[in-house]
Structure 1
Amino acid sequence: MFQQDEEALHSTHSPREPPRSMTFNVLSGINTVVDPMWSNPSLQSAIQVLGQLADLGKTLPFVAPAFILLKIIVDVENGAREVDVKCNDLLERITFMLSHLPLLETLTITDATRAVIDRINVVLKQAAALIEAYRKQGKVARRLTLGNKEKFATCALSVNSCINDLMMSLQIHQTSQLDTILSRSVPSDPEDEAAQAFITTYGGDVVRESPQLVTQFAEELHLRVDDGIMEQLNVNLSEVIQEKQVELEKTINDNVGAAILSSLQGIAAQMNEMEKEQKFICVQCSLQYTQSTNGPSSCNFHKAEMSGRSFPCCGSQTPCQFRFHRHKHHSEYPYSSFFKRAWGIINYTDTLEKWSETEDVNLETNSTQKAHVGRLLRWASRSDRVQEPTILLRLGRIWWADHYYFDTFTAQELESVSQVVNITHQTTIFRTSPSEDEYALAEWVLSSAGVINGIRLTAKAATSEKPFVHVVPFDIATCTKTGDVVTVSEGGIRAYTPRTPYTIPETARVSAELSDKPIRAPRTDFKTVTTLPLVIKPASVLTANPDFARRDADYFVGSISIINKASVNGGEPITLTSASASFRLVGDDSYTPVTTLKLISDHLPATIEPRQSITVPFQVEVPRSEADTALSVQWWNRAFIARERPLRLKVAVQDIEGEEASLVMEYVFTPFSLTSPKPEDLAFFSFDNPDQWERAYITVTKPSYESNVVAIDGTDVEVKQLKQAVWSALKSGNGEVELTAVRERAGGSWEWRSWALVDLNCRRVYAFKILITQGSEIKEKKFACLGYVACPEYDDAVAETRVIQYATETAGMPELPPVTTTEVVTDDDVDDYVPPPPPKPLPALPGAEASAGGAMALPSEVTARLTSIDTNLERIAGSLERLVEMLAKTSTLNGRAH
């Protein structure tokens, strides 16, 4: 949006002057009163010509644009409070030219005459914009901007050319006054000559960049340095003039319609009377006002709506904009209340009947140029329908920092606009930018009879060779679409049809092969190894890391049942004093003590009576190797140490005499579920890493929305992204364009990237390339996967076929060592304990036989029984002695504690 700086514009006008953009206000006060502080004959002459043109407007309404533009120039010069010879000279040329227009009443108006008037209106618009922009500059900036005189000279030549054409059309022979006007050059003020000398001395660029030199120049001419003088010196005056012309065009369109229905003089008088003390509600600040009290700073507001606790336009709670009050919504400059109203219309489906939306995307900046037209149904969602047929037109992005246009036209307004366009031949409604590279544009389309019967929407981004142009036919009386939207031009980057199918490379993969099934079930057939009459059985399976997880060790939790198998008759109790644990991985020869063994409840020391048992829950901490610790993996419910080979845990208990009984328990790793390709996947790329027991993978699937192309790793790839890739490839000449930068996964253990492969000849993406590698956390990289997937059709291609051109690829598989496969031992017989066979019984002796000494020999059964009793008595005696010693020590420690 060209933001109309009304405050600066009207700072040169009378304080009581209402805003020019308000309909008809520019026509008020034809008999402009010149300030008595100074007298300007050129201005007085222009005022007299204004009166003549107002009378002419009764019979020839097509002179209304010339009247309006001259009135604007007169008001600017009248409010300037100082004479400037360049402005004076241009005003005299314009006054001389327009003073001859009343002769048109005596002539037959031909097409050639109308063409001359049209040219006059164009030149007047340029002159008015130049004078406004020039007067907006401060005094010092006017003098130091040497290009001003050149612009006035160019404008004077255009006026002279129009004067010649008008004289020929009116059949007026050359006069001495005409000769004087056409032959004289644009004059210079004395201050202009002083500025020329000053800049010649120091150099123009040096002066524009030096506040000290600017201040020095102002002091030499006894001028005051304006605020923002450096900004004024470096502003592009040509751009300001273009913006002013757009504003003037809107002013003409707003006012000429009324000129068709009434004379210019009558309109001015009528509007002066109507708006004298009528009360209005300002749409910008919501306050009540009258035109007599409405000044250039009467209204204060913010450009943007509040976001959070502040306003994004200025970051302050205090209003940052000061303008005239306005009683009708507009899009000439942003104000906060406008956006709520606009978004309440365009963000809902029941408020609009969309006819056409034209847009083009800048493939470098991602900005969008868009134009939309449709029929307005409601002013707000779920509200009553509008009673009068109305169309809505919007251009650009509706945002306070952007250039936009948003306006409605009723059937009655369209009728008036149609007549205005027929007079002025100005079909342009609005253009978001004067640039030819990037803009959005709306134009009226006229029938052969000069009546509006359609609208042309244009959107062009800087990265497009041609604009998107759509023509929407509609009837202005009913505001209904009368036919299909016609596509005049297609912008953007158009793809061509490949002459032959594309051949996609095969997937390359360096990877181990993992399975998500356990290698086998844990063994439970291990026997108790003991010299005691004990049997140890597992009371639960081993569970890994159920409550704790570390990066340098694994915790195992389980429980065992210890049974005294001695018979009740003759059997003895067994006292257990301690327990220990050790571990090994299947395939190792020896056991290693665990770091810690913790009995979950206090069970030892404990005495087990014959044929009785106890259950001992435990937790052990098994350290990892240095290599496993360096991987820094933290798992719950699974043991990292046992991911490749089963782990054996030997739990042993000792009795009071130091004799031991042990049992081996086994833990077999249950792998995590590994993601596998699904039938609906378009592609699945992966590698397996046995070191960390994970599968790194990327899937390519159908997109979430049909308007997109594919989804890579769950993120949709939009058509816009592919066009951006094509644009980048065409600019660089490199058909391999990065689509997704490096993205880390699993804490940096692996990462992936993707590229779009572009056919430069056919201007289309034909495939995606995805590379998965081990990440930055892995020092010695061993695995990777490079995959390709064909790109589906994503745009309407031009029918013309072209030879395909494959992209030159530079990104490929990294150099990796070959994958070595080692045979993993899944079982061994180290713990397969086979108990020794029972001793053979001695042969029975015959009846009582006399020994050599004549004594009676005892049977072998009795002898064995007596020997067992002696042995047990010795063991019991020894145990009692040790028990007494332990009790004595305990008593001594307790005494010390007290």
Structure 2
Amino acid sequence: MTQGMAIANKVLDNPKVTDVMSSIEKNPVLSHLVQLADKLVDIGKTVPFIAPAFVILKLIIDVEQRARDTDAKCTDLLERINFMVSNITVLEKVKAIEPLIAVISKMNDTLKRAASLIQAYRKQGAIARRLNISNSQNFVQMAESISACSQDLMLSLQIQQTGDISVLTRSVPVDSQDEEAKSFVMSHGGQSAINNDPALVEEFAKKMHMTMSDQVMDQMQSSMEDILEENQSRIEALLKENSSNTVAETIKAMAAEARELEAEQRLICLQCDKEYRKSANGPEACSFHKSMKTNGSFSCCGNTAPCAYGSHHPAHHCEYPYTNFYDYAYGILGYTDTHREWATVRETDLLTDEEKLASVSELVRWRTRHEKITQPMMVIRVGFVRYDNPYYFQAYDAELLKTTNATLQETRQTLIFKTNTSNDEYAMAEWILDAAGTIRGVRISANVATSDTPTVSEVPIDPETATLSGEIRSISKASFRVYKSTEPYTFPEPVHVGPILRSTPLREVREFKPRTKLPLLVIPEAKMVANSSGKFARMNADKFQGTLRIFNKSAPNSQTFVTLASCKAEYRFVGEDTYKDVDSLDLGNVKFPTTIEPTQSLDLPFEAIVRRNPVQAALMQSCWDWAMVALHHPIRVRMTFKDIEGEELVFIQEYIHQPSPRMAVKDDKDLLFLHIDDILENNRCTVRVKEATDEDHVVDVNGIKFTAQDLHKIVYKAEQTGVTEVNLCSRENGSHKWDAWALVDLSCRRVYGIKVLLAPGNTRSSKTTAALGYALCPLYGGDEEGAMEERPQRYAEETVVFPILETEECPVVVVDDDVDDEQIPEVAAAAPVIQAAAPVVAIAAAASASATQALTEVTKNAATLDSAVFAASMSSLERRLESLDTNVARMATALEKLVDILSP
């Protein structure tokens, strides 16, 4: 036993055993196997025939601790072995041992085959493991053997299983790479073809992003069955050669070491979120990524596996970048309720746009909306927190300041952090010390190559409380000096070429009286509208809609019913001579014929559809609340009603385009307003330049705002290049595009004007309109009081000119015509007198004069009577008129006969 302990101690002193313990610590399944082997050693003292079991377990432990990666199949097999071997721990309580020798021997054989399989599998490289399809089959067969052996053990040992046996019944794990490998082998001729074709193996390796070594083909061509048999033979020889006592002592020592590690305090590494012990920590104990995870991958390496290694850290630090640090830092910097800024210095390179930043802030809470921290803390930040950028981000409390102060007393190194070694471009933080060498504040600086001097601020702090102890001092501030012109700037007048949409109606809508001899009045409920109702608007036609109220003005007792038999609609553009039929007419629920009783009315909703011309229809545009056909031409819709006797009622309504109140027009605050109009689509494209309304910006070009710093960059680049008409911004929207240029005065070192060109976009086949204008840039720059030195102005050299446009014919607009005006009837010429027919003509004339006199008399009487008297006399009047009609007809017949007699 003493010899065994010596050997065990010698083994534990070996550096390889340190790696073993590290592997055991990282793998809970392996740790459990060590504890189980330790227990079997104790049982082996009374039951010698189980000694091979813990020897084989020691072999499995050795193989797994040497493995550099964790494999799902091996881990699954270890869990099954743990379950099987844990059953024989009851042997220490069993008295009749002899009957169990056979089943324990079977278990030892199963363990041998399992150890042989693990050895053979671990000797293969990653490529061979995937491409050897038999590997998965071997693990499945091994799982079945362990399950069968476990059942035999539980039955022989009379163990009543009350725990979870899912470890035996579950399937062997298969990952996505196994499936890809199987599919690759099946699609390329099977296992034999793969084993003998290095090109196919290399193709698979590239597909899986693996590196192919010289040993891969040897591993592929080796017989797995031969390797397993060879391994089992070696295990048998090892069992005979090695002393079980030596192995037992080694296992006991390893288990004792594992228990000591288990008792050691566990810490959480903030780099990898894993538990660790100080004794197991080392230079490469922790693995992590340098960058944040974006869209499922890491920009630092592009791989899923960690690409960087270091020691475990229980607290956040900025010695080197790691993924979890960004969540920690952004959780503070990304919200306003987590910190209160004391001082910030920021400079931007006017040529490269690179920024340098440093700040000192009070820490309020670690995370947004969390509880406030209970002790005063401050945060020093230098640079931008990114993995590819040098940065410093550290929270300080009074205790850490005390420790830092003690270090400064010895080193006198006041530099906290500097992003660059160069003095031309950097961000920096330094400790400010008093005469006694005690921390009294923080000095932060930022400088860029285009600045004459750095921007420097000093923040006084109380190191005893980590709080602000006085007013913040601005030592220096980098500035881009600008000057004011001695004279006002002048610009050319804006240029606009092309048609312009009207902002007011062409004229007032005319109203027309109904034309009819029927006792009907037509009262429109409102002006006729276009495309204002319905679930959809047509793209090839326009709808004109309205409602007419037709009123029968006959007296209530007159019994004068008017029956309308039909209705049709026609349209005419003002300037045309004739009406044309509409494409269709919808009268709602009104059906003809329909009768209107005296003093009653008929409400008639209508919708007349007028087709657009081919050019308008090709635009496929939906128009709501306006009609494309009437955009430039007033249109009239004529409704013609007929009663059952053919008498007509004609009513005309007119529609004139009403420009939208939302049409863009120049605002009082606009420094420049340009527009181009599409008179075919009734569309206006605009560009506005105005002074920015917020303090941070100077000018607003169609929604794009520019700060004084942005304008400084433009001027600086103009000074470097000599180009003083600098492209500022542009936009294209298909139908139109605009470009804006900054006009730079090199003498005053400022942008003094904005030049804008608005033109049709690429979707327009013809370029017929454009607009060019200038806007005075609002005054900016100067010191804190706004004072500026004056200099003579120097105008920019402009190269952009107004574009050459195509000609376009504008539509001829006819404002009004008299086609529908009421015509005064002319007096008819007197008919010639025929002497021979004088008597008959006299009779006819007398009869006609009699009828006319009667009608005149009735009219006069009707005008003086009230409605009741008028209604009572209507029947007698009708009888009298019928009698007159009969007499006239009789005289007409006699006249015809007289003419026949007188004819030669």
With normalisation by structure 1, the TM-score equals 0.56
Q: Tell me which of 716, 721, 735 is aligned to 2:705.
A: 716
Q: Is the Cα contact below 8 Å between 1:536 and 1:662 reproduced in 2?
A: no
CA distance in 1 between partners of 2:886 and 2:449 (Å): 108
CA distance in 2 between partners of 1:571 and 1:837 (Å): 35
Deviations 1:839-882 (A, max 9, x none): 99x9xxxxxxx999999x9794399644757999xxxxxxxxxx
Map 1:771-850 to 2 at 5 A: 771-796=757-782, 802-816=791-805, 824-834=813-823, 836=825
Deviations 1:146-199 (A, max 9, x none): xxxxxxxxxxxxxxxxxxxxxxxxxxxxxxxxxxxxxxxxxxxxxxxxxxxxxx
Aligned residue in 1 for 2:628: 640
Q: Tell me which of 291, 310, 313 is aligned to 1:323.
A: 310
Q: 1:650 to 1:383 in 2, by over 3 A?
A: closer
Residue 536 of structure 1, CA deviation: 5.3
Residue 657 of structure 1, CA deviation: 7.2
Percent identity between matched residues is 36
Q: Is the Cα contact below 8 Å between 1:573 and 1:607 reproduced in 2?
A: yes
Aligned residue in 2 for 1:543: 529
Aligned residue in 1 for 2:730: 741
Aligned residue in 2 for 1:45: none
Map 1:667-678 to 2 at 5 A: 667-673=655-661, 674-678=663-667
Q: Tell me which of 707, 717, 728 is aligned to 2:696.
A: 707
Q: Secondary structure at the match of 2:330?
A: helix
Residue 372 of structure 1, CA deviation: 1.0
Map 1:506-545 to 2 at 5 A: 506-510=492-496, 515-528=502-515, 538=524, 541-545=527-531
CA distance in 2 between partners of 1:802 and 1:484 (Å): 37
Q: 1:611 to 1:497 in 2, by over 3 A?
A: closer
Residue 370 of structure 1, CA deviation: 0.8
Q: 1:609 to 1:681 in 2, by over 3 A?
A: closer
CA distance in 1 between partners of 2:562 and 2:504 (Å): 43
CA distance in 2 between partners of 1:407 and 1:853 (Å): 127
Q: Is the Cα contact below 8 Å between 2:331 and 2:366 reproduced in 1?
A: yes
Q: Is the Cα contact below 8 Å between 1:567 and 1:611 reproduced in 2?
A: yes
Q: 1:366 to 1:535 in 2, by over 3 A?
A: same
Map 1:575-590 to 2 at 5 A: 576-590=564-578
Q: 1:852 to 1:626 in 2, by over 3 A?
A: closer
CA distance in 2 between partners of 1:225 and 1:436 (Å): 48
- Does residue 766 of the first structure (1) align with residue 752 of the second (2)? yes
Aligned residue in 2 for 1:144: none
Q: Secondary structure at the match of 1:728?
A: helix
Structure 1 residues without counterparts, runs of 5 or longer: 1-10, 19-223, 228-275, 843-849, 873-898
Shifted more, 449-458 versus 558-567: the winner is: 558-567
Q: Secondary structure at the match of 2:483?
A: strand
Residue 371 of structure 1, CA deviation: 0.9
Residue 720 of structure 1, CA deviation: 3.6
Q: Quick one: higher RCO (CA 8 Å, sep 6+), 1 or 2?
A: 1
Residue 431 of structure 1, CA deviation: 2.6
CA distance in 1 between partners of 2:363 and 2:329 (Å): 12
Q: Secondary structure at the match of 2:358?
A: strand
Q: 1:15 to 1:464 in 2, by over 3 A?
A: farther
Aligned residue in 1 for 2:384: 397
Q: Is the Cα contact below 8 Å between 2:732 and 2:761 reproduced in 1?
A: no
Which one-letter code corresponds to 1:804 in the other structure?
Q
CA distance in 2 between partners of 1:870 and 1:750 (Å): 80
Which one-letter code corresponds to 2:513 in the other structure?
F
Aligned residue in 1 for 2:275: 288
CA distance in 1 between partners of 2:887 and 2:561 (Å): 17
Which one-letter code corresponds to 1:594 in the other structure?
V
Q: Which has the larger radius of gyration?
A: 2
Residue 348 of structure 1, CA deviation: 4.7
Q: Is the Cα contact below 8 Å between 2:396 and 2:466 reproduced in 1?
A: no
CA distance in 2 between partners of 1:412 and 1:402 (Å): 29
Q: Is the Cα contact below 8 Å between 1:539 and 1:615 reproduced in 2?
A: no
Residue 505 of structure 1, CA deviation: 0.9
Aligned residue in 1 for 2:589: 601
Aligned residue in 1 for 2:541: 553
CA distance in 1 between partners of 2:378 and 2:525 (Å): 82
Residue 682 of structure 1, CA deviation: 4.5
Q: 1:315 to 1:680 in 2, by over 3 A?
A: same
Q: Secondary structure at the match of 1:330?
A: coil
Q: Secondary structure at the match of 1:642?
A: coil
Q: Secondary structure at the match of 2:326?
A: helix
Which one-letter code corresponds to 1:557 in the other structure?
Q
Aligned residue in 2 for 1:624: 612
CA distance in 2 between partners of 1:710 and 1:560 (Å): 54
Q: Is the Cα contact below 8 Å between 1:495 and 1:762 reproduced in 2?
A: no
Aligned residue in 1 for 2:238: none
Q: Is the Cα contact below 8 Å between 1:537 and 1:663 reproduced in 2?
A: no
Q: Is the Cα contact below 8 Å between 1:504 and 1:788 reproduced in 2?
A: no
Residue 313 of structure 1, CA deviation: 6.0
Residue 328 of structure 1, CA deviation: 2.1
Which one-letter code corresponds to 2:480 in the other structure?
R
CA distance in 2 between partners of 1:825 and 1:518 (Å): 13
CA distance in 2 between partners of 1:608 and 1:354 (Å): 83
Map 1:259-658 to 2 at 5 A: 279-303=266-290, 321-349=308-336, 351-363=338-350, 366-376=353-363, 378-380=365-367, 390-411=377-398, 413-414=400-401, 416-418=403-405, 420-421=407-408, 423-424=410-411, 426-434=413-421, 438-446=425-433, 451-461=438-448, 464=451, 467-474=454-461, 476-477=463-464, 479=466, 485-487=472-474, 490-491=477-478, 494-510=480-496, 515-528=502-515, 538=524, 541-546=527-532, 547=534, 548-561=536-549, 576-606=564-594, 614-629=602-617, 633-654=621-642
CA distance in 1 between partners of 2:841 and 2:287 (Å): 138
Which one-letter code corresponds to 1:829 in the other structure?
D
Residue 708 of structure 1, CA deviation: 1.7
CA distance in 2 between partners of 1:453 and 1:17 (Å): 49
- Does residue 754 of the first structure (1) align with residue 713 of the second (2)? no
Q: 1:301 to 1:851 in 2, by over 3 A?
A: closer
Q: Is the Cα contact below 8 Å between 1:528 and 1:535 reproduced in 2?
A: no
Q: Is the Cα contact below 8 Å between 2:485 and 2:748 reproduced in 1?
A: no
Which one-letter code corresponds to 2:749 in the other structure?
R
Q: 1:654 to 1:377 in 2, by over 3 A?
A: closer
CA distance in 2 between partners of 1:455 and 1:226 (Å): 56
Residue 649 of structure 1, CA deviation: 0.8
CA distance in 2 between partners of 1:629 and 1:868 (Å): 57
Which one-letter code corresponds to 2:778 in the other structure?
P
- Does residue 726 of the first structure (1) align with residue 753 of the second (2)? no
Q: Is the Cα contact below 8 Å between 2:424 and 2:447 reproduced in 1?
A: yes
Residue 615 of structure 1, CA deviation: 4.2
Residue 553 of structure 1, CA deviation: 2.0
Which one-letter code corresponds to 1:442 in the other structure?
A
Number of paired residues?
A: 599
Q: 1:854 to 1:526 in 2, by over 3 A?
A: closer
How large is the Cα RMSD of the aligned pairs? 5.0
CA distance in 2 between partners of 1:17 and 1:407 (Å): 35
